[in-house]
Chain A
Amino acid sequence: DGGITQSPKYLFRKEGQNVTLSCEQNLNHDAMYWYRQDPGQGLRLIYYSQIVNDFQKGDIAEGYSVSREKKESFPLTVTSAQKNPTAFYLCAIGPAGGPGYNEQFFGPGTRLTVL
């Protein structure tokens, strides 16, 4: 089955623990993105990667880290430095193409709750 997978769907962690969220895709898209959604806040960009072994900070990167060792995978680590980690996390993919060809497609999301 093709597409974007995020696991797990729900994740609970104790305060002070690092946690890694998985995002995998088999659609051969170059670009991958991580967003965070909070109630009434829309989607805010955490990190993105246009190519393997390269990534850039988004608007709210503090307290997060990523890696892009494979084209198919873009895991996000929520570190203990993130002050408000409880949120709905969304991974997206997109072609690193030209203007007018930059629709992003989203995975099902992971709901992280820090207790």
Chain B
Amino acid sequence: DQQVKQNSPSLSVQEGRISILNCDYTNSMFDYFLWYKKYPAEGPTFLISISSIKDKNEDGRFTVFLNKSAKHLSLHIVPSQPGDSAVYFCAASARGSNYKLTFGKGTLLTVNP
């Protein structure tokens, strides 16, 4: 069973507009959430994270929102740039799990000039 779901395999946006990537989870024990960006044939790069005690975390152009009641989080990128084109993975960790991460399958973001 997939505990972290990214239901949109791909997303295409225009440069300068907002990109919104979504992630849903089923395990209520998850208490820490992360977003990673990945280019082909490279390792993922950590982008931003959020603890379950918060509902928003912002870092420059990237903002993550967490809705615990809906078990949903989203990553907003504003403004989107062509260099943001990559696969974005949502990941989650549960307290007491030895800090293992459970990853979603990823969303391919394409930012068109």
Taking Cβ atoms with an 8 Å cutoff, the residues of A that contact B are 4, 6, 31, 33, 35, 40-45, 48, 50, 56, 58, 88, 90, 92, 94, 96-97, 99-100, 102-109, 111
Taking the complex as formed, is B105 at the interface, i.e. its CB lies under 8 A from any CB of chain A? yes
**Is A43's CB under 8 angstroms from B103's CB?**
yes
Taking Cβ atoms with an 8 Å cutoff, the residues of B that contact A are 9, 31-32, 34, 36, 41-46, 49, 51, 89, 91, 93, 95, 98-101, 103-106
In the bound complex, residues from chain B placing their C-beta under 8 Å from that of A44 are 103
In the bound complex, residues from chain A placing their C-beta under 8 Å from that of B45 are 106
Of the listed residues B44, B99, B101, the one surrounded by the most CB atoms of chain A closer than 10 A to its CB is B99
**Is B32's CB under 8 angstroms from A100's CB?**
yes
Give Cα distance in the complex from A97 to B99, angstroms: 8
**Is B46's CB under 8 angstroms from A104's CB?**
yes
Question: What is the total of A-B residue contacts with beta carbons within 8 Å?
Answer: 62
- Chain A nearest CB from B64 CB (Å) reads 13
A45 in contact with B89 given A102-B32, A106-B45, A109-B42 (CB within 8 Å): no
Partner of B89, one of A42, A103, A105: A42
Give Cα distance in the complex from A110 to B31, angstroms: 31
In the bound complex, residues from chain A placing their C-beta under 8 Å from that of B98 are 48, 50, 56
* A100-B49, A106-B45 known, 12 other contacts, Cβ within 8 Å: A31-B99, A35-B103, A40-B105, A44-B103, A45-B100, A48-B98, A58-B100, A90-B43, A90-B44, A102-B93, A106-B36, A107-B43
A selection of 9 A-B contacts at a CB cut-off of 8 Å is A42-B104, A43-B101, A94-B99, A103-B49, A104-B101, A105-B46, A106-B43, A108-B42, A109-B41
**Is B100's CB under 8 angstroms from A108's CB?**
no
Give Cα distance in the complex from A49 to B16, angstroms: 42
Partner of A99, one of B42, B44, B95, B106: B95
- Chain B nearest CB from A112 CB (Å) reads 13
A41 in contact with B105 given A48-B100, A102-B99, A106-B45 (CB within 8 Å): yes
